A = this chain, B = another copy of it.
Amino acid sequence: MLAEFDLIRRYFMSSQEASAASNGVTLGCGDDATLLAPSAGQQLAVSVDTSVVDVHFPREAPAFAVGHRALAVALSDLAAMGATSRWCLMALTFDQRQFADDEATHVWLEAYARGFHALSQQHATALVGGDVTSGALSIGVTVMGEVPVGEALTRCGAQAGDLIAVTGALGGGAGGLALWQQGERDLTHPLLRRYLLPEPRLAAGLALRGLATAALDISDGVLADLAHLREASQVGADITLDALPLAEGLESLLGTEGALKAALSGGDDYELLVTLNAADIAKAQQRLASLGLTLTVIGHCCETLGISASGQRDLSRYVSGYAGWQHFSGETP
Protein backbone atom coordinates (compact mmCIF):
# COMPACT_ATOMS: atom_id res chain seq x y z
CA MET A 1 0.00 0.00 0.00
CA LEU A 2 1.36 3.38 -0.94
CA ALA A 3 0.99 6.36 1.38
CA GLU A 4 -0.77 9.43 -0.01
CA PHE A 5 2.26 11.65 -0.11
CA ASP A 6 4.41 9.05 -1.87
CA LEU A 7 1.62 8.44 -4.33
CA ILE A 8 1.22 12.08 -5.30
CA ARG A 9 4.95 12.52 -5.56
CA ARG A 10 5.49 9.37 -7.56
CA TYR A 11 2.74 9.68 -10.12
CA PHE A 12 1.74 13.30 -10.30
CA MET A 13 4.58 15.62 -9.43
CA SER A 14 7.71 14.92 -11.46
CA SER A 15 6.53 15.78 -14.94
CA GLN A 16 4.70 18.85 -13.69
CA GLU A 17 7.52 20.47 -11.80
CA ALA A 18 9.36 21.52 -14.92
CA SER A 19 6.34 23.19 -16.47
CA ALA A 20 5.16 24.70 -13.20
CA ALA A 21 7.96 27.23 -12.85
CA SER A 22 7.13 28.78 -16.20
CA ASN A 23 3.42 28.89 -15.44
CA GLY A 24 3.15 31.33 -12.56
CA VAL A 25 3.62 28.66 -9.90
CA THR A 26 5.95 29.92 -7.19
CA LEU A 27 5.58 27.00 -4.81
CA GLY A 28 4.61 23.59 -6.11
CA CYS A 29 2.82 20.63 -4.54
CA GLY A 30 4.22 19.52 -1.22
CA ASP A 31 3.43 22.48 0.99
CA ASP A 32 0.00 22.98 2.58
CA ALA A 33 -1.11 25.03 -0.39
CA THR A 34 0.41 26.10 -3.68
CA LEU A 35 1.19 29.74 -4.39
CA LEU A 36 0.17 31.08 -7.79
CA ALA A 37 0.75 34.40 -9.49
CA PRO A 38 -2.37 35.47 -11.42
CA SER A 39 -1.72 37.80 -14.35
CA ALA A 40 -2.54 41.49 -14.00
CA GLY A 41 -5.67 42.65 -15.80
CA GLN A 42 -7.18 39.19 -15.97
CA GLN A 43 -10.13 37.64 -14.26
CA LEU A 44 -9.84 34.15 -12.86
CA ALA A 45 -12.32 31.62 -14.22
CA VAL A 46 -12.79 28.68 -11.85
CA SER A 47 -14.88 25.54 -12.02
CA VAL A 48 -15.07 22.10 -10.42
CA ASP A 49 -16.26 18.80 -11.89
CA THR A 50 -16.47 15.36 -10.36
CA SER A 51 -16.25 12.15 -12.38
CA VAL A 52 -17.66 9.12 -10.60
CA VAL A 53 -17.19 5.51 -11.66
CA ASP A 54 -20.36 3.85 -13.02
CA VAL A 55 -21.96 7.29 -13.29
CA HIS A 56 -19.68 9.26 -15.60
CA PHE A 57 -17.44 6.51 -16.92
CA PRO A 58 -17.56 2.69 -16.96
CA ARG A 59 -15.66 0.78 -14.30
CA GLU A 60 -13.66 -1.01 -17.00
CA ALA A 61 -12.68 2.16 -18.84
CA PRO A 62 -8.95 2.26 -19.56
CA ALA A 63 -7.11 4.17 -16.83
CA PHE A 64 -5.56 6.48 -19.43
CA ALA A 65 -9.05 7.50 -20.54
CA VAL A 66 -10.26 7.96 -16.96
CA GLY A 67 -7.45 10.43 -16.31
CA HIS A 68 -7.92 12.24 -19.61
CA ARG A 69 -11.66 12.45 -19.33
CA ALA A 70 -11.77 13.72 -15.75
CA LEU A 71 -9.63 16.69 -16.75
CA ALA A 72 -11.29 17.16 -20.14
CA VAL A 73 -14.82 17.67 -18.77
CA ALA A 74 -13.50 20.28 -16.33
CA LEU A 75 -11.46 22.10 -18.98
CA SER A 76 -14.54 22.17 -21.19
CA ASP A 77 -16.08 24.65 -18.76
CA LEU A 78 -13.12 27.00 -19.19
CA ALA A 79 -13.46 26.63 -22.96
CA ALA A 80 -17.07 27.74 -22.69
CA MET A 81 -15.94 30.91 -20.90
CA GLY A 82 -13.35 31.76 -23.53
CA ALA A 83 -10.71 31.43 -20.83
CA THR A 84 -7.09 30.33 -21.18
CA SER A 85 -6.50 27.36 -18.93
CA ARG A 86 -3.61 27.74 -16.49
CA TRP A 87 -3.90 25.54 -13.41
CA CYS A 88 -5.77 22.54 -12.05
CA LEU A 89 -6.13 20.66 -8.78
CA MET A 90 -7.01 16.98 -8.69
CA ALA A 91 -8.65 14.99 -5.90
CA LEU A 92 -8.40 11.28 -6.67
CA THR A 93 -10.38 8.85 -4.56
CA PHE A 94 -9.72 5.20 -5.24
CA ASP A 95 -9.57 1.89 -3.47
CA GLN A 96 -6.22 0.12 -3.53
CA ARG A 97 -7.96 -3.07 -2.43
CA GLN A 98 -9.71 -3.11 -5.80
CA PHE A 99 -6.47 -4.15 -7.42
CA ALA A 100 -4.98 -7.63 -7.34
CA ASP A 101 -1.64 -6.41 -6.01
CA ASP A 102 0.72 -3.44 -5.81
CA GLU A 103 1.86 -4.07 -9.38
CA ALA A 104 -1.71 -3.82 -10.69
CA THR A 105 -2.22 -0.64 -8.67
CA HIS A 106 0.96 0.76 -10.14
CA VAL A 107 -0.06 -0.06 -13.70
CA TRP A 108 -3.45 1.60 -13.25
CA LEU A 109 -2.08 4.72 -11.57
CA GLU A 110 0.70 5.10 -14.09
CA ALA A 111 -1.75 4.99 -17.02
CA TYR A 112 -4.22 7.27 -15.22
CA ALA A 113 -1.51 9.84 -14.54
CA ARG A 114 -0.32 9.58 -18.14
CA GLY A 115 -3.81 10.35 -19.45
CA PHE A 116 -4.21 13.27 -17.08
CA HIS A 117 -0.76 14.69 -17.81
CA ALA A 118 -0.94 14.35 -21.57
CA LEU A 119 -4.04 16.52 -21.67
CA SER A 120 -2.82 18.99 -19.05
CA GLN A 121 0.39 19.50 -21.01
CA GLN A 122 -1.49 19.87 -24.28
CA HIS A 123 -3.35 22.77 -22.70
CA ALA A 124 -0.44 24.20 -20.68
CA THR A 125 -2.32 23.52 -17.45
CA ALA A 126 -0.08 22.95 -14.44
CA LEU A 127 -1.29 20.52 -11.78
CA VAL A 128 -0.89 22.65 -8.65
CA GLY A 129 -2.71 20.66 -6.01
CA GLY A 130 -3.60 17.08 -5.33
CA ASP A 131 -5.28 14.92 -2.78
CA VAL A 132 -5.45 11.14 -2.81
CA THR A 133 -7.96 9.40 -0.57
CA SER A 134 -9.29 5.92 -0.15
CA GLY A 135 -12.84 5.18 -1.31
CA ALA A 136 -15.03 4.49 -4.32
CA LEU A 137 -13.30 5.60 -7.52
CA SER A 138 -14.01 9.23 -8.26
CA ILE A 139 -12.03 12.21 -9.46
CA GLY A 140 -12.71 15.82 -8.60
CA VAL A 141 -10.95 18.36 -10.77
CA THR A 142 -10.86 22.09 -10.14
CA VAL A 143 -9.66 24.12 -13.10
CA MET A 144 -8.46 27.70 -13.07
CA GLY A 145 -8.11 29.84 -16.16
CA GLU A 146 -7.68 33.47 -17.03
CA VAL A 147 -9.61 35.82 -19.25
CA PRO A 148 -9.15 39.57 -19.80
CA VAL A 149 -11.60 41.61 -17.72
CA GLY A 150 -14.92 41.91 -19.52
CA GLU A 151 -14.11 39.44 -22.31
CA ALA A 152 -15.45 36.20 -20.83
CA LEU A 153 -18.16 34.37 -22.75
CA THR A 154 -21.20 33.92 -20.53
CA ARG A 155 -24.61 32.36 -20.96
CA CYS A 156 -26.57 35.54 -20.72
CA GLY A 157 -25.66 37.68 -23.74
CA ALA A 158 -27.81 36.08 -26.45
CA GLN A 159 -30.33 38.35 -28.17
CA ALA A 160 -33.30 37.69 -30.39
CA GLY A 161 -32.04 37.40 -33.95
CA ASP A 162 -28.67 35.90 -33.00
CA LEU A 163 -27.71 32.72 -34.78
CA ILE A 164 -27.23 29.54 -32.73
CA ALA A 165 -24.21 27.45 -33.70
CA VAL A 166 -22.24 24.46 -32.46
CA THR A 167 -18.61 23.48 -32.86
CA GLY A 168 -17.71 20.10 -34.33
CA ALA A 169 -20.25 17.29 -34.41
CA LEU A 170 -22.94 16.10 -32.00
CA GLY A 171 -24.11 12.77 -30.64
CA GLY A 172 -20.65 11.23 -30.53
CA GLY A 173 -20.70 10.92 -26.76
CA ALA A 174 -23.96 8.96 -26.75
CA GLY A 175 -22.85 6.97 -29.78
CA GLY A 176 -19.61 6.04 -28.09
CA LEU A 177 -21.45 4.96 -24.98
CA ALA A 178 -23.74 2.75 -27.09
CA LEU A 179 -20.69 1.22 -28.76
CA TRP A 180 -19.03 0.60 -25.39
CA GLN A 181 -22.16 -1.12 -24.18
CA GLN A 182 -22.04 -3.32 -27.27
CA GLY A 183 -18.57 -4.43 -26.27
CA GLU A 184 -16.42 -2.23 -28.49
CA ARG A 185 -13.09 -1.55 -26.76
CA ASP A 186 -10.93 -0.15 -29.57
CA LEU A 187 -10.09 3.39 -28.50
CA THR A 188 -9.14 4.34 -32.04
CA HIS A 189 -12.82 4.06 -33.01
CA PRO A 190 -13.87 7.70 -33.59
CA LEU A 191 -17.15 7.42 -31.64
CA LEU A 192 -15.53 5.65 -28.71
CA ARG A 193 -12.89 8.36 -28.65
CA ARG A 194 -15.62 11.00 -28.50
CA TYR A 195 -17.07 9.31 -25.44
CA LEU A 196 -13.93 8.34 -23.53
CA LEU A 197 -11.38 10.88 -24.77
CA PRO A 198 -13.32 14.10 -25.40
CA GLU A 199 -11.31 17.13 -26.52
CA PRO A 200 -12.09 20.31 -24.60
CA ARG A 201 -12.61 23.15 -27.11
CA LEU A 202 -10.29 25.66 -25.45
CA ALA A 203 -8.85 26.98 -28.70
CA ALA A 204 -12.35 27.44 -30.11
CA GLY A 205 -13.50 29.31 -27.01
CA LEU A 206 -10.54 31.65 -27.32
CA ALA A 207 -11.21 32.16 -31.04
CA LEU A 208 -14.84 33.02 -30.36
CA ARG A 209 -14.02 35.73 -27.83
CA GLY A 210 -15.33 39.03 -29.12
CA LEU A 211 -17.68 37.25 -31.55
CA ALA A 212 -19.99 34.96 -29.58
CA THR A 213 -22.72 36.77 -27.64
CA ALA A 214 -23.23 33.73 -25.36
CA ALA A 215 -21.63 30.33 -24.96
CA LEU A 216 -21.73 27.17 -22.94
CA ASP A 217 -20.44 23.65 -23.38
CA ILE A 218 -22.68 20.77 -24.38
CA SER A 219 -22.50 18.25 -21.59
CA ASP A 220 -26.17 17.25 -21.32
CA GLY A 221 -27.21 17.46 -24.98
CA VAL A 222 -28.15 20.47 -27.10
CA LEU A 223 -31.72 20.66 -25.80
CA ALA A 224 -30.84 20.77 -22.10
CA ASP A 225 -27.87 23.08 -22.56
CA LEU A 226 -29.78 25.36 -24.90
CA ALA A 227 -32.42 25.58 -22.17
CA HIS A 228 -29.80 26.95 -19.75
CA LEU A 229 -28.74 29.52 -22.34
CA ARG A 230 -32.36 30.49 -23.12
CA GLU A 231 -33.11 30.95 -19.45
CA ALA A 232 -29.95 32.94 -18.70
CA SER A 233 -30.39 35.19 -21.77
CA GLN A 234 -34.17 35.30 -21.63
CA VAL A 235 -34.62 34.43 -25.28
CA GLY A 236 -36.42 31.70 -27.17
CA ALA A 237 -34.82 29.41 -29.72
CA ASP A 238 -35.86 27.97 -33.03
CA ILE A 239 -33.71 25.11 -34.26
CA THR A 240 -33.58 23.21 -37.55
CA LEU A 241 -33.18 19.53 -36.82
CA ASP A 242 -31.85 18.74 -40.27
CA ALA A 243 -29.02 21.18 -39.70
CA LEU A 244 -27.59 19.37 -36.65
CA PRO A 245 -24.06 18.18 -37.47
CA LEU A 246 -24.05 14.49 -36.56
CA ALA A 247 -20.89 12.70 -35.53
CA GLU A 248 -19.40 10.51 -38.27
CA GLY A 249 -20.76 7.00 -38.18
CA LEU A 250 -23.58 7.91 -35.83
CA GLU A 251 -26.44 7.37 -38.27
CA SER A 252 -25.16 4.01 -39.39
CA LEU A 253 -24.84 2.96 -35.75
CA LEU A 254 -28.12 4.30 -34.36
CA GLY A 255 -30.27 5.05 -37.42
CA THR A 256 -31.45 8.56 -38.31
CA GLU A 257 -33.94 8.83 -35.47
CA GLY A 258 -31.53 7.47 -32.91
CA ALA A 259 -28.74 9.71 -34.15
CA LEU A 260 -30.90 12.83 -33.88
CA LYS A 261 -31.98 11.83 -30.39
CA ALA A 262 -28.34 11.27 -29.40
CA ALA A 263 -27.42 14.70 -30.75
CA LEU A 264 -30.33 16.45 -29.04
CA SER A 265 -30.29 14.84 -25.64
CA GLY A 266 -27.47 12.30 -25.45
CA GLY A 267 -24.93 14.47 -23.71
CA ASP A 268 -21.19 14.01 -23.18
CA ASP A 269 -20.27 15.82 -26.40
CA TYR A 270 -18.28 18.69 -24.88
CA GLU A 271 -18.66 20.81 -27.98
CA LEU A 272 -19.46 24.52 -27.59
CA LEU A 273 -22.94 25.91 -28.13
CA VAL A 274 -22.74 29.60 -29.01
CA THR A 275 -24.88 32.45 -30.22
CA LEU A 276 -23.57 35.11 -32.60
CA ASN A 277 -24.75 38.13 -34.51
CA ALA A 278 -25.42 36.99 -38.08
CA ALA A 279 -22.82 39.50 -39.30
CA ASP A 280 -20.09 37.65 -37.39
CA ILE A 281 -20.76 34.08 -38.40
CA ALA A 282 -18.44 33.99 -41.42
CA LYS A 283 -15.56 35.41 -39.43
CA ALA A 284 -16.19 32.93 -36.61
CA GLN A 285 -16.32 30.01 -39.05
CA GLN A 286 -13.09 31.19 -40.62
CA ARG A 287 -11.31 31.34 -37.27
CA LEU A 288 -12.50 27.87 -36.31
CA ALA A 289 -11.58 26.47 -39.73
CA SER A 290 -8.01 27.56 -39.07
CA LEU A 291 -8.19 25.33 -35.97
CA GLY A 292 -9.52 22.44 -38.05
CA LEU A 293 -12.98 22.81 -36.53
CA THR A 294 -16.39 23.43 -38.05
CA LEU A 295 -18.99 25.86 -36.69
CA THR A 296 -22.47 24.90 -37.82
CA VAL A 297 -25.54 27.12 -37.60
CA ILE A 298 -28.41 25.08 -36.14
CA GLY A 299 -31.01 27.81 -35.55
CA HIS A 300 -31.59 31.28 -34.22
CA CYS A 301 -32.75 33.06 -31.09
CA CYS A 302 -36.21 34.62 -31.02
CA GLU A 303 -38.19 36.84 -28.70
CA THR A 304 -40.88 34.30 -27.92
CA LEU A 305 -39.54 32.26 -25.02
CA GLY A 306 -39.46 28.48 -25.28
CA ILE A 307 -38.13 26.27 -28.03
CA SER A 308 -39.49 25.42 -31.46
CA ALA A 309 -38.27 23.59 -34.54
CA SER A 310 -38.24 24.68 -38.14
CA GLY A 311 -38.07 22.33 -41.12
CA GLN A 312 -39.68 19.00 -41.82
CA ARG A 313 -39.07 17.25 -38.53
CA ASP A 314 -41.19 17.47 -35.41
CA LEU A 315 -39.10 18.25 -32.34
CA SER A 316 -41.32 16.36 -29.91
CA ARG A 317 -40.47 13.05 -31.59
CA TYR A 318 -36.90 13.31 -30.38
CA VAL A 319 -37.27 14.47 -26.87
CA SER A 320 -38.93 11.58 -25.11
CA GLY A 321 -36.57 10.60 -22.38
CA TYR A 322 -35.27 14.14 -22.20
CA ALA A 323 -35.99 15.09 -18.60
CA GLY A 324 -36.30 18.79 -19.35
CA TRP A 325 -39.09 18.24 -21.81
CA GLN A 326 -41.98 18.58 -19.39
CA HIS A 327 -41.05 22.22 -18.96
CA PHE A 328 -41.66 22.91 -22.63
CA SER A 329 -44.96 22.75 -24.41
CA GLY A 330 -44.42 23.74 -27.97
CA GLU A 331 -43.65 27.44 -27.95
CA THR A 332 -44.23 28.25 -24.29
CA PRO A 333 -41.45 28.57 -21.74
Binds B, one of A32-40, A158-166, A305-313: A32-40
Contact B49 A45 (CB under 8 A): no
1/0 contact string of A54-85 vs chain B (CB within 8 Å): 11100000000000000000001110110100
Contact B50 A140 (CB under 8 A): yes
Contact B154 A27 (CB under 8 A): yes
- A130 sits at the interface (CB 8 A): yes
Contact B33 A78 (CB under 8 A): yes
Given contacts A31-B155, A35-B147, A40-B40, contact A128 B46 (CB under 8 A): yes
Closest Cβ–Cβ distance, residue A130 to chain B (whole Å): 7
B-contacting residues, A85-136, CB 8 Å: 87, 89-91, 93, 128-131, 133-136
Q: Which residues of B contact A221 (CB under 8 A)?
A: none
B-contacting residues, A201-234, CB 8 Å: 215-217, 228, 232
Partner of A30, one of B54, B56, B232: B232
Q: Which residues of B contact A50 (CB under 8 A)?
A: 91, 93, 131, 133, 140
Q: Which residues of B contact A36 (CB under 8 A)?
A: 43-46
Partner of A56, one of B52, B133, B143: B133
Bin the interface of chain A by size.
Answer: 35 or more
Classify the interface of chain A: helix, strand, loop or mixed: strand
Contact A138 B93 (CB under 8 A): yes
Residue among A77, A78, A215 with most chain B CB within 10 A: A77
Contact A34 B52 (CB under 8 A): no
Partner of A129, one of B40, B47, B131: B47
Contact B145 A142 (CB under 8 A): no
Complex Cα distance, B156 from A217, in Å, reads: 42
- A295 sits at the interface (CB 8 A): no
Q: Which residues of B contact A83 (CB under 8 A)?
A: 33
Contact B155 A142 (CB under 8 A): no
Q: Which residues of B contact A54 (CB under 8 A)?
A: 135
Closest to A83 in B: B33
Q: Which residues of B contact A174 (CB under 8 A)?
A: none
Complex Cα distance, B90 from A129, in Å, reads: 15
Contact B48 A130 (CB under 8 A): yes
- A256 sits at the interface (CB 8 A): no
Contact B131 A48 (CB under 8 A): yes
A27-B152, A32-B77 provided; 17 other pairs, C-beta below 8 A? A30-B155, A31-B81, A31-B156, A32-B76, A32-B217, A33-B46, A33-B47, A33-B81, A33-B143, A34-B47, A35-B81, A48-B91, A50-B91, A50-B131, A50-B140, A131-B140, A142-B142
Closest 9 CB pairs of A and B: A140-B140, A33-B47, A32-B80, A52-B135, A136-B136, A32-B77, A142-B142, A33-B45, A48-B89
| A interface, CB within 8 angstroms of B | 3, 5, 26-27, 30-38, 40, 43-50, 52-56, 76-78, 80-81, 83, 87, 89-91, 93, 128-131, 133-136, 138, 140, 142-145, 147, 149, 152, 154-156, 215-217, 228, 232, 323
6 A-B residue pairings within 8 Å (CB atoms): A32-B78, A35-B81, A44-B44, A47-B89, A48-B131, A49-B91
